[in-house]
Each structure stands twice: as C-alpha cells, then as structure tokens.
Amino acid sequence: MSLIKEPVVIHKGLDNVYVKESRICFIDGEASKLFYRGYSIEELAAHSTFEETAFLLIYGWLPTAVQLKQFISKLSANRPLEDGLLRLIREFPDRSDPMDVLRTAVSALGLYDSQPMTDENQLRIDKAIRILAKIPSIITAFDRVRNHKDPVTPKEQMTHAAEFLYMLTGNEPDPYDAHVMDVALILHAEHEMNASTFACTVTASTLADMYSVTTSGIGTLRGPLHGGANEAALRTVLDVGDPSKAESYVVDALAHKKRIMGFGHRVYKTWDPRYLILKGFAGELAARKGQSALFDTAVAIETSARKHLEGTPIFPNVDSYSGIVFHMLGIQTDLFTPIFAMSRTAGWTAHTIEYLENNRLIRPKALYMGKVGLPYIPIESRTGKVEE
Ligand code: ACO
C-alpha cells in the first residue's frame, strides 16, 4: 500500500508523457510519417546527405552551400583521433563489444577536451560536431585493431558515410554502397523522444557536459529492445536461412510468446516509413551482391509475421531491414548498433542543445510501496531476507 494519499497515476514506460516542446522531429505513428525539422524522411533520403541532415537537426535549418562547406570542414578537421585515445582503443580486449568500446571511448574523448563543460550554445554545437566526427573513427579504429590491422587515417573530401566505409576497410567504397550507407545514416539520425534521447535529455538537464550526454545515449541504445534489435533481426534471418522455413519459424516464435525482432514500435502503429526506404535498398543491394536468398528470407519472415499478426498494430520497424543492409555492405554484425549511435548522435546532441535553451532538471517520482519506521535489527537477529 502506498503512503501517498492523493491519487497517483503511474505512467509505466512513460507512454504518452510529453517532457518538452520541440521543433526537431515529428512522428505521425498512425500515418507512417516522419519529419526532421519539418522535412519528410522520404525527401531527405532522396535529396540530402547525412552531413546536411545533421546540420539541419543541430542548427534547425537546411544549410547554405557555404554553411555546409564549413560544417563538412569542421567534421573533417575533427575526425583524426588523439594519440592517447588511439592507445586506449588498442588496449581494449579484442573480444570487447564495440558498443562498450564506443561508450568508453566517447567518455574518454571528454578527457581530451580542455573545457568539456560549457554554458555557451556555440561551444555546445562545437562539441556536438567533435563527437559526431570522432565516432566513425572510434568504431573503425577498434574494428581494425581487433582484426590485427592498423587504424586507417581518414581522407578528406569524402562524405561521412564513405569515410566510415573507407576507414573500416582501407579501400575507397563503391559509390552505390556509400550512397546506401549515407541514406541509412539519414534514416537513423533522429527519432523524437525515444529511450536513448530521453536518457541524453535527463543527463543534459543536470547541466552535465556533451560527452556525458552522449555516453548516456550510447549506454541506453545498447539494449536489444532499442538499438540492439537490428543485430537480432539479422541473426533471425540468418538462422532461418531459407524462405521456406520462415512460416514455421514465425508460428513457433509467436506460439512461444517470442518477439519477432524488427517488428513493433511504441509510436508507429503502422509501417515505419524508414523500413520502406531500407527495404527498397535491401532489395537492390541483394541483386547487386548476389544475396537474394537473404533478402527473400527476410521478406518471407515479414510476410508470414504480418499474416499472423494481422489485426494487431505490430508492423515492421526500421530494424527489420537495416541489419540486412549493413550485412550486405560487408559490415560485421556487432557494428550495427555503433553505426546507429554514430548517426543518432546528431539527434541526441540536437535535443540537448534545444533542451538547454530552456532547461529544467528532470526529476520524476517513484510511488513508494514499502514500509517506514522499521526498528533497526542487530546483525545477529537478521533473517537475510525482506522482513515481514
Ligand atoms: N513480436 C511479437 N509480438 C510483439 C512484438 C514483436 N516484435 N512487439 C510487441 N509484441 C506484442 C507483445 O508481446 C505484447 O503482447 P501481449 O499484450 O499479448 O503481451 C504487445 O505486442 C504489446 O507489446 P509491448 O511490449 O507492450 O509494446 P511496446 O510498445 O512497449 O513495444 C517494442 C515496443 C519494445 C519495440 C516491441 O515491439 C518489441 O520488443 N519489438 C522487438 C524489438 C525491436 O524490434 N525493437 C526495435 C524498435 S525500433 C528502434 O528502437 C529503432
């Protein structure tokens, strides 16, 4: 029984709780619509680049040619990693999960900033750009080191997406692959007040620095119900292995109350618009790379799941094909969530900058259901469990 006398509503999972006003992102989960700063995700995927989209999210408007050039130059200038950070990455155990590496390295990045705390908006933006620029370098450096290769020095004049693929492999990527990667980064860059963005906002509301904010976001994105679902969705497709086995997999999973990864969403109660775009690229990539069996298996799982989940609001989300796309780009599965973080840093930092324009410390409440006034028990008299 609660000690609080007035009626209390607990918003478990904070469903439908608004924590701030925002001009960054609008999702219409009933109509399958997603807008960044008013621009539809379809328009941005068709015409923008990740750099332009990141600028849009952080500053609030589409950059002029000069502004975009300056933004790209700042990203390029910030991409190389400090020697100390590279040494640290070389010291991590090879078996480390790349998300743990990223979380630790972004936290360490703050140590190489002589003034991580700031209350100036422009400096916050500079730190956001610094973190955004370094994350691809961190992910690729660790991946190369764990494979006993030297990290690749970033080249200038490449897009953020192409630079990532280049630093990963040491080879200039195929322009189509770089384009697909670029679109994938645009699609993951922002998604309103999801779990990781909320974690970032909570941290920002304490006036902590941008490195702490981003570290909170990475830690939250780590879980399989959020960022990790893309890896799980691909593993499912690889395990099922053949379109003919999709139906029995889905029937068995649902019968055992298992979730089909890449399906369902707290906000979308219909198709996730990002899923549709990625599915198109997954089909094209499968044809180009001779991986039709993989794509066909994913489609078979999707078809079967939709049939059995008919009448429910559980539809494919962005993760149903993102892992397949990254896999066909030759990227190792455990790098998918770090790539998600690499892109979402744009949204995380944009929300931080916006929230701090009108900050209020986030401090919700928990309804206490325990006892009070228990007499202190001497150690020799304790039962070793909750006292009745
Ligand atoms: N497969 C089968 N059933 C599902 C699925 C799924 N993927 N998702 C939800 N359900 C069912 C639940 O079992 C539950 O059924 P019940 O009422 O009979 O118990 C019902 O739908 C409601 O589920 P909730 O967990 O309450 O719905 P919520 O809105 O919290 O779920 C979530 C959202 C966590 C994303 C969920 O759909 C899920 O676990 N999906 C799989 C993981 C995934 O793909 N995550 C990626 C999300 S997108 C992103 O983060 C980028």
Q: What is the mean pLDDT of residues 247-272?
A: 94
The model's pLDDT over 7-24, given as tens digits with 9 standing for 90+, comes to: 899 999 999 999 999 999
- pLDDT for res 240: 96
Q: Give residue 303 CA to ligand 1 midpoint distance, Å.
A: 17
- pLDDT for res 386: 87
- pLDDT for res 215: 98
Query: What is the C-alpha R_g of the chain?
Result: 22
pLDDT band at 6 (very low <50, low <70, confident <90, very high): confident
Q: What is the mean pLDDT of residues 180-193?
A: 98
The residue whose CA is least distant from atom 39 of ligand 1 is 225
Q: What is the mean pLDDT of residues 352-378?
A: 95
- pLDDT for res 5: 79
The model's pLDDT over 46-63, given as tens digits with 9 standing for 90+, comes to: 999 999 999 999 999 999
Ligand 1 atom closest to residue 320's alpha carbon, by position in its atom list: 44
Q: What is the mean pLDDT of residues 307-331?
A: 96
Bridge partners of 33? 28
Ligand 1 atom closest to residue 227's alpha carbon, by position in its atom list: 50
Q: What is the mean pLDDT of residues 282-304?
A: 96
Q: Give residue 74 CA to ligand 1 midpoint distance, Å.
A: 40
Q: In the chain, what percentage of residues exceed pLDDT 90?
A: 93
- pLDDT for res 365: 94
Compute CA 148 distance to the chain's CA centroid, rounded to the nearest angstrom. 27
224 pLDDT higher than 90: no
Catalytic residues: 265, 319
In whole angstroms, give the CA distance from residue 165 to residue 43.
24
User: Residue 324 has which token pair?
Assistant: 């397949």
In whole angstroms, give the CA distance from residue 355 to residue 140.
31
- pLDDT for res 225: 86
- Give residue ranges with CB within 6 A of ligand 1: 225-226, 229, 259-266, 314, 317-319
Q: Give residue 315 CA to ligand 1 midpoint distance, Å.
A: 10
Q: What is the mean pLDDT of residues 283-292?
A: 96
